[in-house]
Amino acid sequence: MLTLTGITVRLGGHVILDGASASIPTRSRVGLVGRNGAGKSTLLKLIAGIGESDSGTIEMPRDTRLGYVAQEAPSGPATPFETVLAADKERASLMDEADHATDPHRIAEIHERLLTIEAHAAPGRAARILAGLGFDEKMQHSPLDSFSGGWRMRVALAAVLFSQPDLLLLDEPSNHLDLEATLWLESFLKSYRATMVVVSHERDLLNNVVDHILHVDHGKVTLYVGGYDEFERQRREQQAQAEAFRAQQEAKRQKLKAYVDRWRYKAHTARQAQSRLKALARMEPIAEASEDPTLVFDFPSPDEQRPPLVNMEHAKIGYGEDAVILSDVSLRIDPDDRIALLGRNGNGKTTLARLLSGELKPMSGSFAASGKMRVGYFSQHQVEELDYEDTPIQHMARLMPDAKPGAVRAQLARFGFSGDKAMVIARHLSGGERARLALALITRDAPHMMILDEPTNHLDVDARESLAQALNEYSGAVIVVSHDRHLLELTADRLVLVADGTAKEFSGSLEDYRDLLLSRGGGDASNDDEAPGKRVSRKDQRRLAAEAREQTQVLRKAVKHAEGEIANLTAKRTELDRALFDPKNYDGPHKDVAAGQLMKTRADIERKLAIAEARWIEAGEALEQAEAGAMETVGKQAASGR
């Protein structure tokens, strides 16, 4: 169990965490959530042993192996594959010792330990993790120094996942990922069997992966059982109760005050009035819920335009004949379209977005755009290129030189920059506030089409929800690139897949796209039945896979049975956790017996869960080997024409 007791942290004279305490059960998967600046990353660093608190303690079992992604990306001549393999320090040390050991007994011990930790399977596991995070075979064996910072951070994430720590600590792990890698990561974390604490603003990840939510708010932390939607439900109920109590308290306060005002100077009632005056002074006020200005998004709707806004046929897009990125692109965009661009980073999504925004011209083919169309293009570089010494008012006034001051302030107010907030220099704005300022700037002239390239990177969960609502209320066309599946599900009604050097409509849903990606181990999806370099067609692949499934039916049933057993036991453990955190079970004359019985039952479930997980792992490995053998057999049959 991970236990936080009275954690207090002050930064720059401000109290970030104020006596924060929580007990996190063993093997739980915890989503660490809260508004930007609440102290989530600070708390995660303290758990990782980075930095010190002003007071309080953090306790965990001795010899707990921690996994934490450092802020600094790895670099140097080593390859991603070598870097990930080296993350398993025990394996790397034993392999090195095996190369130099001379004592036969020690050599035998080394090889026995290597066998125990399945060192032989490590290269394949490292390659699968890297592939899931978007590294193809060539990229896995290229020097780290040849990659951008974002890709090197993916290597750091892969290394931590590969090391299989007892306590996995992740701080916004999807920030440097595209949608495809984010889907793979979610699937990987769902099967992770150790304790995990993850800071994330991805609602789908928080619903599908975690079983507890640790909420950081006003310096305190509160642990909730369940995913994010369950946490939101409980929080709404608590807020409603607090508002009801506040109203009751205010009514009581007014009643006491009226009594005191009327009778405090009357001799025969002075004592009672003084008593009520003291009661009035002792009443602790309950805070009233207020609107949060960081959640404000209000896109100005444009004047009507006749369709289409854009119509292109067989367009070739790139940066010169030596750098053709996309070919044969045919796409029509109407004023009310909501389009999500899918595809791995590097496939050409940004290139297509730049063409639509007018930053690029097609190299060939036809491209027609409405002459009066206004486009608002948001990308991360615009956030980074803000003048950090200028205020929102100064930024907006430069872009609206002919507008009256009231109009400038009105546009800023649409995005939460009203009053004194409009006069704060950008250097002192949070990442989410800078993103909102950039959105305010690009929509100043009510564009007919907005192109948003990863607009949620600096936004917390609540802000993302507000952004989705604002996009749905906006009357123009929206083109969005995002790794946030929840945002795409709420806003997009057309999917365009950018892959294999072109861009085409994807006929399925986001769930279909997710299933297609995961069925291929996280690789790119393609609509072609046959791709260059593949030995057999898609139809033959499906037939071979069906034959392999038939041959491994018994093992698949064993895996499914084990998964069902794990799910059943996990559900029971969650119910027990609810009971353990329920104050009702600690009232009454038999409270010690009840608590003790709950803990005993939970320990028994943990033991059964460990056995079930061991069976699941054993069955899964047997199935993997059997499927590989079956596919090899039917592959040989196909090659020989049988």
- Please write the tens of the pLDDT for every residue from 198-239: 999 999 999 999 999 999 998 999 999 999 999 988 888 877
* Same-domain pairing of 399 and 283: no
As a whole number of angstroms, the distance between CA 330 and CA 359 comes to 18
203 contacts 464 by C-beta, under 8 angstroms? yes
| Residue 240 included in any domain | no
Residue-level pLDDT at 541 = 47
* Same-domain pairing of 503 and 615: no
* Same-domain pairing of 322 and 462: yes
Query: 């042993």: which residue's tokens?
Result: 49
Closest CA to 153 of 125, 180, 172: 172
* Same-domain pairing of 283 and 368: no
Structural domain for 414, as ranges: 295-519
Instruction: Give the chain's domain count.
Output: 4
Angle, helices 179-190 vs 510-519, to 10°: value is 70
* Same-domain pairing of 138 and 252: no
* Same-domain pairing of 176 and 286: no
* 530-535: long-range contacts, CB 8 A cutoff, minimum separation 24: 531/500, 535/639
As a whole number of angstroms, the distance between CA 271 and CA 269 comes to 6
As a whole number of angstroms, the distance between CA 603 and CA 134 comes to 39
| Residue 19 included in any domain | no
| Residue 530 included in any domain | no
Residue-level pLDDT at 537 = 47
Closest CA to 141 of 73, 86, 77: 77
Q: Which two tokens stand for residue 40?
A: 């989530």
435 contacts 458 by C-beta, under 8 angstroms? yes
Number of Cβ within 10 Å of residue 626's Cβ equals 16
* Same-domain pairing of 306 and 406: yes
Q: Which two tokens stand for residue 109?
A: 């011990």
Residue-level pLDDT at 539 = 46
* Same-domain pairing of 168 and 77: yes
For 385-396, letters b (16+ CB in 10 Å) and e give ebeeeebbbebb
pLDDT digits 0-9 by tens, 191-205: 888 999 999 999 999
**Strand partners of residue 317:** 326
Contacts of 128 (CB under 8 A, 6+ apart): 521
Residue-level pLDDT at 290 = 44
Below-70 pLDDT ranges, the chain:
249, 252, 256, 259-260, 262-294, 520-553, 556, 580-595, 623-624, 627-642
CATH number of the domain at 494, please. Answer: 3.40.50.300
For 426-442, letters b (16+ CB in 10 Å) and e give beebeebbbbbbbbbbb
* Same-domain pairing of 262 and 155: no
| Residue 579 included in any domain | yes
